[in-house]
Amino acid sequence: MGLESDVLVIGGGLAGTTAAISAAREGADVRLVSHKKSTLRQSSGLVDALGYVPKREDGESDLGSGSGSGSGSGSERASESTLRGPVVNPYDAIEDLPEEHPYSIVGSEAVAEGFALFDELVGDAYRGGHTDSNALVPTFGGTVKPTARYPAATAAGVASDERPMFVVGFRSLSEYDAGALADGLSASGVPFPVAGAEVKFAEAFRDDAKITRFARALDDDEPIDGVPARKALTTAVEPQLAEFADSVADASDIRVGFPAFLGEDRADQIREELGDRLGAEVFEIPMGPPSLPGLRLEDLLLEQLDAAGVSFETGVRAVDRTVGTDGAVETVVVDRNGTGVPYAADAVVLATGGLIGKGLQSDRKRVTEPVFDCPVAHPADRYDWFLDDAFGDHPFARFGLATDNRLRPVDPSGDGEPEYPNLFAAGAVLGGADVAREKSASGVSLATGVVAGRGAAAVANDTTLEANR
Amino acid sequence: MSNHQPPCDDDAVEPIEVFPERELDLRAGADACYKCTTCETSCPVAAVDDEFPGPKFQGPEQWRLKRKEDADIDDSILSCSNCLRCDSACPSEVPLAQMHNEARGEYVDEQMNKLSREYLRNRILANYGLLAKVGSKVPRLVNFVMGLSVTRKLNEKLLGLPSEREFPAFATQTFREWWRERGGAQVESDDKRVAYFHGCYSNYNTPEVGKAMVRVFEEFGYEVLVPEQRCSGTPMFANGMLSDARRAAETNVESLAAAIDDDADIVASCTSCSLSLRKEYPELFDIDRIDDVSEHTYEALEYLRIHEDLESAVTDAEVDHPALAYHAPCHARNQGLDRQAVELFREVDGVAIEDVGDSCSGISGTYGWKAEKYEASMAMGEEMFHHMEQSDGEVGMTECPTCAMQMEHGTGYEIKHPLQVLEAAVVSE
Ligand SMILES: Cc1cc2nc3c(=O)[nH]c(=O)nc-3n(C[C@H](O)[C@H](O)[C@H](O)COP(=O)(O)OP(=O)(O)OC[C@H]3O[C@@H](n4cnc5c(N)ncnc54)[C@H](O)[C@@H]3O)c2cc1C
Ligand code: SF4
Ligand code: SF4
């Protein structure tokens, strides 16, 4: 039998990658299997720790007001009724989270370790590691969002910087409205003048050309109607930028924001060249899906998996498990396009994501975890899963696995005994956090990935397994 | 052992009927799309072709349109290369590959002019096995004629084949001829038995891959069967020739099911062939025992990794081999096999292997063999060529025969199959 490893990680998102690398660093021989591309491809590429926390009963004022950056309220609609923030320092705010929250379970030290590992893995591709405080970064929706780490490409755009900002949009890119974005930022009280304009670029492309098509044209500096793409882009921007320059006091210090599609392979070079041509610092504003920053992060993490010596396979789905007489998981059955292949491992990390990543599945009656059939707590009546308010505190957002303090899934209605002594869970498959509203998704994945990965390696390194009951 | 049958007899050229057996309902799949656009960021064609509306349109959107107003299939479906990257990417269980295959079939069937040059050319490309069967009867002559520049010019004019491409040479002895000549299997075993699905390419063009497969499996004590077979159908799906594919599938399923009854698992050395047997057959056709065949099919290296301690076998080996630039075919990716060669061979003393990145090679089977797609095909391959040239050595490696063509075409490198490297490592002289 060839397919054996000390630790098997299921799921190739941020949580799975972190768990696999953490386990490998403990000396375990690690294999990772993932069904599909991770949700990183849809994520903004911003790596959040904790931006908002539940309002306190005691009526204490927002942690976030006057949050160092002077950027105003942050204006996230989701935060208005029951959350407060943006928080300045995520570590200080962890104590305000409910006890079933993954951060409460693993502790703030694990959160710091998760981010330390992230910083090490991504090197200078990301910024924000110099401080524990959140940065405030403009988003394409015209809001300012608290986040812990942001791509280097986005660095010149942070809201705490007071340089005038000019935002460029494209008539052919309908997802992104530069004017509305600039208005939104102004309205949220950013401490600098900001304006936006739509320019004509790559009109030769079809109306709904893919964002990857734009990126590719810039990567290759491909001629568009005879003019090299990078030159064509700056030529289109120049007149509008000149107009903006006339309206601000210090025109030598303008920064120019583009939607985040400035190249996939040669992003740094493109940003620099555009900056030189425009005589301004150029940065990217993270977009919703499709997301090149998310894609670039995914590529980076795959390289790191490889460098850590982790074997990995994508395009395969874990569908079942076999259990030994001692109650431990013995093999995980993986479906390879119709063929079921058993993978044996001493310990397993389940990092299959939430309802979006398909780690949890729901029908009209039940929410389930399909690979190990671990119980998921949720209200029996489906009508109690949601609220009427679209941005409200929906119970379903917190659905997920309950665990012991080592992140082994337990039955939430039971005695706290782990379902399997050698199964650990990490990332969005865990319950207890409303990551979208709290702005904590990546941080939860990083922190729990580190803890679950190490836990699994400890089981694998301990041949008797008894010590782990 | 049924090695006395002719390998391919695709001599059927007759009008096409589409899905006569059952009406497919892909509504649930279309509804599962939540427009996250992950598929679009994965599509290599959309990244280079302004005209191509992308996988989300080809799949769920087109299906939705059709349901509402009985719209025609958009002709852009012919620009989809069937690389299946969108299918591997979609987080939401939208059966993109199946939707594209169905749409292509319907388009070709109902909207394409059967007298057009394009249809004729696609039909020829789709039925490469038939062409190869004829060609390999007089390989030297055909190789000579096809190599002439005047032939290439003519091919472009008459058939829309790009004159830039060199026609793959036919081997002077096919794999099956070799197999017969050596007297079939040299190892007999009741409990270790595999049926080899060699496909057209390793039979007619690169029999050394088939030979390597046989020698490696025999080294591990397997009895190898070489059952009757036809084209796996991949080029037919990709060109919307679904009834051609169905006929080939019927033959293959029957003969491979018989091998399963003989206690054999099926192994293929081409990742498009294994993908086709495993995934596309059961998605598209309703043939008796098709699921059985799907469940018993493996890629050759994958099979050994599951059943043998291949890692130890290669760690003990020492080979003197030039550095390899490895490209993972899209169809290996879709089966989760894109990393296995790299992970295996990095354990071998004397073999240096480098993955040249995750781009598509751009040829996608017959796609790069169409004059009007040639430029896009080379643009997609650009990244791979670049990485190959940056890597050490001048030998490439891949599992897919057409990716190998593209790698060679773009860089001039010699290209190996992992089984050939494995043969060097584990087969004693
Ligand atoms: C639209 C969107 C925007 C986001 N924006 C941000 C943001 O701005 N900031 C931020 O910090 N975070 C953001 N996130 C969250 C972040 O990207 C990750 O989703 C989060 O960290 C969860 O990661 P994960 O690894 O737990 O799960 P996922 O990323 O969901 O990964 C789960 C993986 O497991 C695989 N899988 C599932 N089931 C199986 C199985 N049975 N067998 C094998 N593999 C399986 C899936 O295919 C997937 O690859 C966003 C997410 C989404 C969807
Ligand atoms: S199969 Fe490949 S070419 Fe066709 S739509 Fe999907 S990703 Fe694009
Ligand atoms: S990846 Fe799937 S769900 Fe997302 S847009 Fe494409 S088809 Fe729809």
DSSP B54-78: -HHIIIIIHHHHHHHH-PPPPGGGG
| Confidence tier at A2 by pLDDT (50, 70, 90) | low
pLDDT at B144 over 90: no
pLDDT at A320 over 80: yes
pLDDT at A187 over 80: yes
pLDDT at A264 over 50: yes
Closest listed ligand to the CA of A48? 1
Q: Is B37 in the pocket of ligand 3 (CB under 6 A)?
A: yes
Averaged pLDDT score across all residues of chain A: 87
Residue nearest to atom 8 of ligand 2 (CA): B43
Averaged pLDDT score across all residues of chain B: 86
In the three-class reduction of DSSP (H, G, I as helix; E, B as strand; rest coil), residue A335 is classed as strand
Atom number, ligand 3, closest to the C-alpha of residue B36: 4
Its ipTM equals 0.80
Predicted local confidence at residue A301, as pLDDT: 94
- Region of poorest pLDDT, from A78-87, B8-17, B225-234, B307-316: B8-17
Predicted local confidence at residue A78, as pLDDT: 41
DSSP A267-324: HHHHHHHHHHHHTSEEEEE--SSS-HHHHHHHHHHHHHHHHTT-EEEES-EEEEEEE-
- The model's pLDDT over B334-365, given as tens digits with 9 standing for 90+, comes to 999 999 999 899 888 889 999 998 889 999 88
Predicted local confidence at residue A344, as pLDDT: 95
Among A208, A341, A358, the residue with its CB nearest the CB of B53 is A208
pLDDT at A125 over 80: yes
Mean pLDDT along residues A32-38:
88
User: Parallel, antiparallel, or unpaired for β A223-224 and A227-228?
Assistant: antiparallel
pLDDT at A393 over 70: no
| Confidence tier at A29 by pLDDT (50, 70, 90) | very high
Contacts of A120 (CB under 8 A, 6+ apart): none
Give the rounded distance of the alpha carbon of B260 from its chain centre.
Answer: 22
In angstroms, rounded to a whole number, what is the distance separating the alpha carbons of residues A144 and A147?
10
DSSP B348-410: SBT--EEE--S---S-TTTGGGSGGGHHHHHHHHHHHHHHHHHSSSSEEE-S-HHHHHHHHHH
| Confidence tier at A436 by pLDDT (50, 70, 90) | confident
Strongest mean pLDDT among A15-29, A34-48, A291-305, B107-121: A15-29
pLDDT at A443 over 90: yes
CB atoms within 10 A of CB A43: 23
In angstroms, rounded to a whole number, what is the distance separating the alpha carbons of residues A347 and A352?
16
| Confidence tier at B66 by pLDDT (50, 70, 90) | confident
User: Quick check: B279 and A208 CB within 8 A?
Assistant: no
Burial of residue B75 (number of CB atoms within 10 Å: 0-12, 13-18, 19+): exposed
CA-closest candidate to residue A443, choices A451, A368, B39: A451
Predicted local confidence at residue A81, as pLDDT: 55
Mean pLDDT along residues A400-417:
93
| Confidence tier at B26 by pLDDT (50, 70, 90) | low
pLDDT at B1 over 80: no
Q: Is A259 in the pocket of ligand 1 (CB under 6 A)?
A: no
Predicted local confidence at residue A445, as pLDDT: 97
User: Quick check: A290 and B306 CB within 8 A?
Assistant: no
Contacts of A18 (CB under 8 A, 6+ apart): A114, A117, A118, A426, A445, A446, A449, A450, A453
| A28 touches A456 (CB < 8 A) | yes
Q: What are phi and psi of A131, to 5 degrees?
A: -140, 155
A363 at interface of B, judged by CB pairs closer than 8 A: no
User: Parallel, antiparallel, or unpaired for β B265-268 and B193-197?
Assistant: parallel
Predicted local confidence at residue A382, as pLDDT: 66
Closest listed ligand to the CA of B360? 2
Please give the helix or strand (H or E) that residue B193 lies within, else none.
Answer: strand B193-197
How many CA within 13 A on the CB side of residue A417?
7
In the reported structure, the alpha carbon of residue B45 is separated from the centroid of ligand 3 by a whole-number distance in angstroms of: 16
User: Parallel, antiparallel, or unpaired for β B193-197 and A423-425?
Assistant: unpaired
Contacts of B77 (CB under 8 A, 6+ apart): B58, B62, B100, B103, B104, B107, B240
Atom number, ligand 2, closest to the C-alpha of residue B46: 8
pLDDT at A167 over 80: yes
User: Quick check: B339 and A313 CB within 8 A?
Assistant: yes
In the reported structure, the alpha carbon of residue A217 is separated from the centroid of ligand 2 by a whole-number distance in angstroms of: 19
Contacts of A252 (CB under 8 A, 6+ apart): none
Instruction: Report the percent of chain B where pLDDT is more than 70.
Output: 93
User: Parallel, antiparallel, or unpaired for β B324-326 and B353-355?
Assistant: parallel
Predicted local confidence at residue A383, as pLDDT: 67
pLDDT at A66 over 60: no
pLDDT at A41 over 60: yes
A338 at interface of B, judged by CB pairs closer than 8 A: yes
Predicted local confidence at residue B132, as pLDDT: 74
Predicted local confidence at residue B16, as pLDDT: 39
Predicted local confidence at residue A463, as pLDDT: 58
In angstroms, rounded to a whole number, what is the distance separating the alpha carbons of residues B405 and B111?
32
Q: Is B266 in the pocket of ligand 2 (CB under 6 A)?
A: no
Mean pLDDT along residues B207-230:
97
Mean pLDDT along residues B186-195:
96
CA-closest candidate to residue A256, choices A265, A246, A268, A244: A244
Angstrom distances, CA of residue A104 to CA of A398, A406, A452, B145: 14, 12, 15, 74
